[in-house]
Amino acid sequence: MSVANKTISNKKLHDGMIKSKKTRVGDWTIAIVCFFLMLLCLLPMLHVLACSLSSADALVRNEVFIWPKGWNIEAYRTVLTTEKYVRSLGWTAILTVGCTLLSITLTICAAYPLTYTNLKGGRFINFIILFTMYFSAGTIPSYLLLSKMNMLNTPYALIFPNCISVFNVIIMRSFFYGVPDSLREAAEIDGAGPIRVLIRVYLPLSLPVIATLSLFYAVGRWNGFSDALMYLKTADSEKFWPIQLLLYNVIKNSTQTSEQAAQEGFFANGVSKTIQMATVMFATVPILLVYPWLQRYFVTGVTIGAVKG
């Protein structure tokens, strides 16, 4: 990152000396284009926020753009007092935290031994891990396996089948490779075994990459939809529905009923629309609050992954 900053400042310094009027106009044009790109990314979210804070009438009359009409927080209150939503949000939060802890631990366990290039069998283990990135059995074999293991319709189906991502193992391993060998050797001379070296030397130096991969795993679980759709099919597994699946079904049902309503000459139900938008806010805000703080780190993470992947 420091290299990047230096490049920018060097360039700026250099440009400053001979910056012609034409270049300056160009700079501002680019800045304005970027501003519109930002709007393109932000406006949909602002619209959702405005809808969730508006009155149901205003939504039916289609008056809301990015500023709420008929301010109220009724929708949020409804979501927070509806047991279905609260339970799903709480469950998804617990699931996300638990899965992230499990995944990151397993990822470290997989990546660290592979940095010992003299590990007997290490190459073979490396191969069997990497192979799964290029060839997978497919959806149905995994589904059948879970059905044989009696994991279908249980929360385990959301936790175990995807708890390690090979891609993240590669990122972690590459980061470990970057830790200077002299540090490991120094610790080894002090009599530290591999585990102690991991805990005392590697983990403290790897906090950025651990933060990045935790973010990746957490986002993956929080946004995870298809596994829940395929693996939680019975009525009594509905209590394990993560928020994305719940939201999908709520919206699907409401568009169907509103289609029917439209055919029968009624207006679509505006109340449920504001509630939907409030649910969307609940389902996105946790991530949107976290990711900007980790930006510096995940940029490095993605770069390592791309170079090595």
Partner 1 sequence: MRSAHATELSSSSRINRHMGFSWKTYLKRYWTLYLLLLLPVAFFIIFRYTPMTYILLAFKKNNILLPPWKVEWVKNNGFDWFIKAFKDRGFQTSLRNTIFLNLLDLIIGMPMPILMAILLNELAFPKYKRITQTVLYLPHFLSWVIISSITLRLFATNDGIINKLLGTQIPFVGTEGNWRATYIFLGIWKECGWNTIIYLAALTAISPELYEAAEVDGAGRWRKIWHVTLPGIRPTIVVLLIMNLGHILGSEFDRPFTLSNKLVEGASKTISIFVYERGVMGQQYALSTAVGLFQSVVCVIFLLLSNSLAKKFGERGIW
CB 284 to partner 1: min, Å:
6
Residues 99-158 that bind partner 1 (CB under 8 A): 106-107, 109-110, 112-113, 115-120, 125, 128-129, 132, 134-145, 147
Contact status: 211 vs partner 1 (CB under 8 A) = no
CA 44 vs CA 20, 71, 162, 208, 224: distances in Å: 38, 19, 31, 31, 21
CB 230 to partner 1: min, Å:
5
Which residue lies nearer to partner 1 by CB, 47 or 200? Answer: 47
CB 94 to partner 1: min, Å:
18
CB 142 to partner 1: min, Å:
5
Which residue lies nearer to partner 1 by CB, 48 or 97? Answer: 48
Contact status: 276 vs partner 1 (CB under 8 A) = yes
Contact status: 203 vs partner 1 (CB under 8 A) = no
Q: Which stretch binds partner 1 (CB under 8 A): 6-14, 69-77, 78-86, 205-213?
A: 6-14
Query: Which amino acid is present at 299?
Result: V
Which residue lies nearer to partner 1 by CB, 5 or 234? Answer: 5
DSSP 81-95: H-HHHHHHHHHHHHH
CB 1 to partner 1: min, Å:
9
Which residue lies nearer to partner 1 by CB, 26 or 90? Answer: 26
Which residue lies nearer to partner 1 by CB, 107 or 206? Answer: 107
Q: 203: exposed, middle or buried (C-beta count within 10 Å: 0-12, 13-18, 19+)?
A: middle
Which residue lies nearer to partner 1 by CB, 82 or 136? Answer: 136
CA 201 vs CA 2, 106, 172, 207: distances in Å: 23, 18, 15, 11
Number of chain residues interacting with partner 1 (CB under 8 A): 109
> Tokens in use for 1?
């990152």
Q: How far apart are CA 187 and CA 199, in angstroms?
A: 11
Residues 15-74 that bind partner 1 (CB under 8 A): 15, 18, 22-23, 26-27, 30-31, 33-34, 37-38, 40-42, 44-45, 47-48, 51, 62, 65
Q: How far apart are CA 243 and CA 192, in angstroms?
A: 45
CB atoms within 10 A of CB 78: 16
Query: Which amino acid is present at 305?
Result: G
Question: Which ranges in 69-180 belong to alpha helices (H)?
Answer: 74-81, 83-114, 122-134, 139-148, 156-159, 166-177
CB 103 to partner 1: min, Å:
10
3-state secondary structure of 53: coil
